[in-house]
């Protein structure tokens, strides 16, 4: 049997609950948006023709190692300006990566289709329907943000009086936040899956990832911090990703018989 909360604790618990409630609401919105992005861009797409658990585990290890290095660099810098610059670079990378992928994807896919035997090219071109569908859905997540804000502006919920107006304003803010979360999680998902281009050729995601990391490194320039550390971060990240991609392509050839020209 649960014991009632002492009346003297209410003045202490109420400010804590008021402080935590927006954070809990944001977490719920982010979790819902992440699930929606997974359903649309992962579960709703065709499964990859080849799944190598060993490669998947090493990619996970590499991702967490990159996170640990980022945290260590932020802690070691100590300088607020360098820390702010480093965090800004991470956000710019997140927002820039899908668009670089959209620009580079047709080139990589075109080369792979050109290298393939003539008998395979028609099948590969047909498999492009899945990536094109994911591309259209990604643009839809981006268009959802201004569409929601424009709809809220047309409805103008602040003109509604009393509690109804407050509820409409909160609902509008929640919808806008959810759309932003959806776009961010969609960006992460399409970069990780390469818009489902593995359906065209199993080596496409690895090739796209290698091209993408070097493009980001070239556009972003030197990270913040001491020059020696900045050069290590600039080259080390893309180099490790490229090495992992080469190993993945090698395993596709040796274990699954998948060749770049096949």
Residue 200 lies in a domain: yes
Question: pTM higher than 0.85 for the full model?
Answer: no
Q: What is the pLDDT of residues 189-214, one digit of tens each?
A: 888 888 888 888 888 988 998 998 89
* 8 A C-beta contact, residue 110 and residue 257: no
Residue 2 counted as domain residue? no
**168 burial level (CB within 10 Å; 0-12, 13-18, 19+):** middle
Average of per-residue pLDDT values in the chain: 80
**Domain for residue 156, yes or no?**
yes
199: nearest Cα among 111, 106, 128: 128
The predicted structure's pLDDT at residue 82: 63
Give me the pLDDT at residue 155, please: 65
| Residue 219 is assigned to a structural domain of this protein | yes
User: 72: alpha, beta or left, given left = phi > 0 and alpha = psi -120 to 50?
Assistant: alpha
In a domain, 262, yes or no: no
Any idea which residue has 């609902």 for tokens? 171
Rounded Cα distance, 198 and 206, in Å? 9
Helix (H, G, I), strand (E, B) or coil at 57: helix
Q: Domain of residue 92: give its range.
A: 7-256
- If one counts the domains in the chain, the total is 1
Contact by Cβ (8 Å): 99, 186: no
Low-confidence ranges of the chain (pLDDT < 70): 1-20, 44, 77-87, 152-166, 224-225, 262
pLDDT number for residue 34: 92
Q: Residue 178 falls within a domain, yes or no?
A: yes
Question: Is residue 94 situated within a structural domain?
Answer: yes
C-alpha 144/C-alpha 150 separation (Å) is: 10
- 225 token code pair: 């911090």
Q: Determine the pLDDT at residue 31.
A: 92
Does a structural domain hold residue 84?
yes
d(CA 24, CA 41): 26
């Amino acid at each position: 049997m649960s014991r009632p909360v002492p009346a003297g604790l209410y003045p202490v618990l109420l400010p804590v609950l008021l402080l935590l409630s927006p954070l809990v609401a944001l977490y719920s919105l982010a979790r819902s948006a992440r699930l929606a992005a997974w359903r649309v861009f992962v579960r709703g797409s065709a499964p990859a023709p080849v799944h190598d658990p060993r490669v998947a585990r090493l990619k996970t290890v590499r991702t967490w190692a990159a996170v640990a290095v980022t945290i260590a660099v932020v802690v070691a810098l100590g300088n607020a300006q360098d820390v702010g610059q480093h965090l800004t670079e991470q956000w710019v990378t997140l927002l820039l990566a899908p668009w670089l992928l959209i620009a580079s994807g047709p080139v990589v896919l075109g080369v792979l289709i050109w290298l393939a035997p003539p008998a395979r090219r028609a099948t590969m071109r047909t498999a492009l329907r899945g990536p094109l569908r994911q591309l259209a859905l990604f643009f839809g997540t981006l268009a959802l943000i201004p569409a929601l804000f424009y709809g809220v502006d047309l409805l103008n919920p602040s003109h509604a009086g009393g509690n109804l107006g407050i509820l409409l304003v909160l609902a509008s803010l929640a919808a806008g936040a959810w759309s932003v979360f959806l776009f961010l999680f969609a960006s992460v998902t399409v970069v990780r899956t390469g818009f489902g281009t593995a359906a065209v050729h199993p080596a496409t995601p690895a090739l796209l990832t290698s091209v993408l990391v070097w493009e980001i490194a070239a556009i972003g320039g030197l990270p913040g911090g001491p020059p020696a550390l900045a050069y290590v971060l600039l080259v080390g990240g893309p180099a490790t990703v490229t090495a992992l991609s080469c190993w993945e392509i090698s395993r596709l050839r040796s274990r699954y018989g998948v060749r770049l020209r096949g």
